[in-house]
C-alpha cells in the first residue's frame, strides 16, 4: 500500500475526525495531499465547471506521479512559513451526491481516462460533509488534462505542466507489469468435538495475483509468513502447480517463485499457492499473516493481516449454528 492509499484509508476508517485534525494541525498540502473548496459548495444542480477542471488536473497530475488524495470541502491558503495549509472547513452540501458527480465526471476528464480513481463521502450529522478522492499512480499514464490539453505532474504542493522532453523521459519506456493481490477463500469448515474447547475451524485460501499493467510479468514471487494463534493451531501451505518453485521453512514461511517458462500477460490471473488454516483453541495471540509479492521490474508490495483472539472466538461461537459442522 502506497502513501496515497494509506491517506485515503485514514479517511475511510476515521472519517470527519481526520479532517478536524488536519484543520487543527494546519496540515500543509504536500506531494500526496491536496485540499479543494468546491466552487459552489456542492449546492448546484450538477458538478461545477471549476470543480470539474480541478478534478481533471488532479487526475492527470497525481496519475502521472506517485498518486495522491484530494479532500473536497477544505479551504487552503498560503502561509509564508508553511506554504499552502488547511485553514477552515467549507462543508459540501450533500456529500454523497457530490461523490456521485465526481464518479460520473472521471471518464471525461483526461485522455486516457484514469481507470482506478475512487471517492469516499464523509457525511456529518447535519447532512453536510466532505469527499476524499483517491487518484492512484496510473499504469496507463501519461494522462492528458482534457480542458487545456496539458500533461501535469505533482511537484511539491502544486500540479505543474510537464515539458515535452520530461514527458518523453518519464513515459518513453516499455510498458511495465503491475501486480495486485487478493484472496480467494472457501467457505469455512467447522469441526465440533465433545468439549467446546475441541471446536476447530478450517479455512482454505489462495492468494490470487492479477496483472493490471500493460507489460508481461515474469519471475513472479509470493512470500507468506504466518504466526498461528496458539499451540493447537497450524497453517500449512503448498504451491498450486508445477509452474511454481516452492521453499517451505517449518510451516512458518512459504515462498513461491515462478519458473522460467511462466509468463503472466496483461489482465492475466494466477493463484500460486494454497494455504490451509486449521484454527483451534486456545487462542493466546493474534493470527498474523504477512505476504509480500512482486515480479521482475515491479516494486515489492507487503501486506500484513492480523486477526485478534476475540474475533477468532466470535467465528467459532457462530459455528454452533452452522449446518456445515461435523462431529469428530
Where do the structural domains in the chain lie, given as residue ranges?
3-171, 179-327
Q: What is the pLDDT along the chain (328 residues), one digit of tens a residue?
A: 688 999 999 999 999 999 999 999 999 999 999 999 999 999 999 999 999 999 999 999 999 999 999 999 999 987 777 678 998 999 999 999 999 999 999 999 999 999 999 999 999 999 999 999 999 999 888 999 999 999 999 988 899 999 877 787 777 666 788 899 999 999 888 877 655 566 788 999 999 999 988 889 999 999 999 999 999 999 999 999 999 999 887 767 899 999 999 999 999 999 999 999 999 989 999 999 999 999 997 888 999 999 999 998 888 777 654 434 333 3
**CA 218 to centroid of chain Cα atoms:** 23
In the numeric block, which cell numbers belong to residue 170? 518519464
Provide the pairing of β-strand 118-123 with 129-135: antiparallel
Q: What is the pTM of this model?
A: 0.61
Domain covering 3-171, topology? 3.30.950
Provide the pairing of β-strand 179-185 with 253-258: unpaired
Superfamily (CATH H level) for 179-327: Immunoglobulins (2.60.40.10)
Closest CA relative to residue 181, chosen from 298, 296, 291: 291
- Cβ-based neighbours of 76, under 8 Å, separated by 6 or more: 29, 35, 36, 37, 84, 85, 86, 87
Provide the pairing of β-strand 273-280 with 200-211: antiparallel
Using only C-alpha atoms, what is the Rg of the chain? 24
Coil, helix or strand for 265? coil
For residues 11 and 123, give the distance between their C-alpha atoms in angstroms, rounded to a whole number.
11
For residues 272 and 262, give the distance between their C-alpha atoms in angstroms, rounded to a whole number.
11
List beta partners, residue 155: 158
Provide the pLDDT for residue 287: 94
Please report which residue ranges of 242-319 form alpha helices under DSSP H: 309-318
Coil, helix or strand for 81? coil
- In this structure, what DSSP letter does residue 52 have? H
For residues 131 and 38, give the distance between their C-alpha atoms in angstroms, rounded to a whole number.
10
CB 122 within 8 A of CB 19: yes
Cis peptide before 282 (omega within 30 of 0): yes
In the numeric block, which cell numbers belong to residue 45? 444542480
CB 289 within 8 A of CB 226: yes
Amino acid at each position: 500500500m502506497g502513501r496515497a492509499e494509506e491517506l485515503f484509508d485514514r479517511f475511510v476508517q476515521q472519517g470527519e475526525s481526520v479532517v478536524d485534525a488536519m484543520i487543527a494541525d494546519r496540515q500543509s498540502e504536500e506531494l500526496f495531499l491536496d485540499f479543494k473548496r468546491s466552487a459552489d459548495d456542492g449546492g448546484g444542480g450538477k458538478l461545477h465547471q471549476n470543480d470539474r477542471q480541478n478534478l481533471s488536473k488532479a487526475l492527470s497530475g497525481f496519475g502521472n506521479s506517485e498518486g495522491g488524495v484530494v479532500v473536497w470541502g477544505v479551504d487552503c491558503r498560503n502561509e509564508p512559513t508553511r506554504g499552502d495549509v488547511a485553514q477552515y472547513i467549507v462543508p459540501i452540501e450533500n456529500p454523497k451526491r457530490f461523490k456521485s458527480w465526481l464518479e460520473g465526471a472521471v471518464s471525461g476528464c483526461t485522455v486516457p481516462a484514469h481507470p482506478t480513481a475512487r471517492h469516499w463521502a464523509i457525511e456529518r450529522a447535519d447532512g453536510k460533509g466532505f469527499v476524499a478522492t483517491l487518484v492512484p499512480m496510473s499504469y496507463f499514464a501519461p494522462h492528458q488534462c482534457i480542458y487545456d490539453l496539458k500533461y501535469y505532474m505533482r511537484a511539491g504542493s502544486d500540479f505543474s505542466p510537464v515539458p515535452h522532453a520530461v514527458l518523453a523521459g518519464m513515459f518513453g519506456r516499455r510498458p511495465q507489469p503491475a501486480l495486485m493481490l487478493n484472496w480467494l477463500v472457501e467457505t469455512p469448515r467447522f469441526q465440533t468435538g465433545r468439549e467446546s474447547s475441541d471446536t476447530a475451524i478450517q479455512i482454505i485460501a489462495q492468494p490470487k495475483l492479477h496483472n493490471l499493467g500493460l507489460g508481461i510479468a515474469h519471475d513472479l514471487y509470493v512470500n507468506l509468513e504466518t504466526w498461528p494463534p496458539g499451540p493447537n493451531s497450524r497453517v500449512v501451505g503448498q504451491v498450486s502447480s508445477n509452474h511454481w518453485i516452492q521453499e517451505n521453512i517449518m510451516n512458518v514461511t512459504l515462498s513461491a517463485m515462478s519458473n522460467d517458462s511462466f509468463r503472466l500477460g496483461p489482465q492475466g490471473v494466477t493463484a500460486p499457492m494454497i494455504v490451509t488454516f486449521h484454527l483451534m483453541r486456545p487462542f493466546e495471540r493474534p493470527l498474523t499473516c504477512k505476504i509480500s509479492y512482486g515480479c521482475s521490474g515491479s516494486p515489492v508490495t507487503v501486506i500484513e493481516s492480523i486477526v485478534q483472539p476475540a474475533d477468532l472466538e466470535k467465528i467459532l461461537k457462530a459455528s454452533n449454528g452452522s449446518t456445515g459442522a461435523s462431529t469428530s
